[in-house]
Amino acid sequence: MVPKSETRFIRLNLITIAVTLLLILAGGIVRSTGSGMGCPDWPKCFDQYIPPTSAAQLPADYKEKYVAERVAKNERFAKTLEKLGKGHLADSIRHDQSILQPETFNVAKTWTEYLNRLMGAITGFLLLGLTVFSFTYKGKANRIIVLSVANLILVGFQAWLGSIVVSTNLMPWVVTVHMLVALVILGILVYTYNYALQLHKKETVIMGRLIWLKWLVFGSIVLTIIQIVLGTEVREAIDAISKQMLFNGRKTWVSKVGNVFSYHRDLAMLVLIINIIIYKIVKEKFNGKATALRVGNAIAIVLIIQIVTGLLLANFGLPPYAQALHILFSTFLFSLQYYLYLLVYSTSTYDQQH
């Protein structure tokens, strides 16, 4: 029987995974609506805990003020990069003229970004609670404590990185790193959830070898991460093209992206093929109410949604709702694939020679 304290940790862990995915959805909405600079400062929004609802509530020189603050913060960040031996990145920040362009107040964009930050704060508190609850495993499963503490530190770093995303005016490589850190946070949450769950379950043993399935699932995870990075680069290219065209001719933006979109589209076909093979093997190896089979079914559904949203984006002028859903389900796919990998990796194979 699972102790109540451990059941509480497992439930909170699952809730935190769900809220983290909702936070990624909120981030997708921010990105698809162009609300990333809705709050030009951080952690407050226009120096307020509750942002303004009209430009009349702002000082006359608010544009110059926040540009000056951004420049000062970016200079500190550039110096940090130089100390890490990344002088070329520091120079790219110092010479990025877009940072000097002030953002005009837009109440819809401001509140969209503000709600995204509230979701981030909720996620942070959940991770804090999860860290506190993880000490129930002291002496029994210390890795859960270590990983929970590490994730809490990581989410603090992610919050700081979010401030850099704002101060650099959504500089492409910073946005990509921000997304990858979110995947690491999700990965740790999925691992601790599965590890805590497996502590009180009997080891799964099946007939037949699993080595190919393990490698295929691992390969699918790597491909999904590459797809997410490529998708981020496609979005960055779209942002640049939309600005050049003064946000006109939306339906032509995709055709102007170039090779990175072709790579993203073609790799999606490879991801689909590999996951079809994985699903076939999982159905052969696992049956009934096996968790691995249920996760395999969920992956199939998420892949269908990904294909549909991808087609909508490519052929119907990048509708914002499809952008947000595409980002959400790409990270959901990563989470499910990693969970399946953990399940398959911990499954033993019956040795038919004995």
Query: Which pair of tokens denotes residue 170?
Result: 């959504």
Q: Residues 254, 326: contact at Cβ < 8 Å? A: no
Q: What integer pLDDT is reported at residue 348 of this predicted model?
A: 67
Torsion angle in degrees (nearest 10) through CA of 46, 35, 247, 67:
30
The domain segmentation of the chain, as residue ranges, is 1-201, 203-354
pTM as predicted: 0.87
Kindly give the confidence (pLDDT) of every residue in the chain, 354 residues in length, as a single tens digit, with 9 standing for 90 and above.
778 999 999 999 999 999 999 999 998 888 788 787 788 887 788 888 888 888 888 878 888 888 888 888 888 888 988 988 888 888 888 888 777 777 788 899 999 989 988 998 999 999 999 999 999 999 899 999 999 999 999 999 988 888 787 777 767 778 888 889 999 999 999 999 999 998 877 766 665 667 888 899 999 999 999 999 998 888 888 877 887 887 788 888 888 888 888 899 889 899 999 999 999 988 888 877 788 899 999 999 999 999 999 989 888 888 888 888 999 999 999 999 999 999 988 776 655 444
Instruction: List the one residue out of 320, 228, 234, 211 whose CA is nearest residue 268.
Output: 228
3-class DSSP string for the chain: CCCHHHHHHHHHHHHHHHHHHHHHHHHHHHHHCCCCCCCCCCCCECCECCCCCCHHHCCCCHHHHHHHHHHHHHHHHHHHHHHCCCHHHHHHHHCCHHHHCCCCCCHHHHHHHHHHHHHHHHHHHHHHHHHHHHHHHCCCCHHHHHHHHHHHHHHHHHHHHHHHHHHCCCCHHHHHHHHHHHHHHHHHHHHHHHHHHHCCCCCCEEECCCHHHHHHHHHHHHHHHHHHHHHHHHHHHHHHHHHHCCCCCHHHCHHHCCHHHHHHHHHHHHHHHHHHHHHHHHHHHCCCCCHHHHHHHHHHHHHHHHHHHHHHHHHCCCCHHHHHHHHHHHHHHHHHHHHHHHHHHCCEEECCCC
Q: What integer pLDDT is reported at residue 206 of this predicted model?
A: 64
**Separation of alpha carbons 220 and 97, rounded Å:** 39
Other beta carbons within 10 Å of 235: 23
What's the CATH number for 203-354? 1.20.120
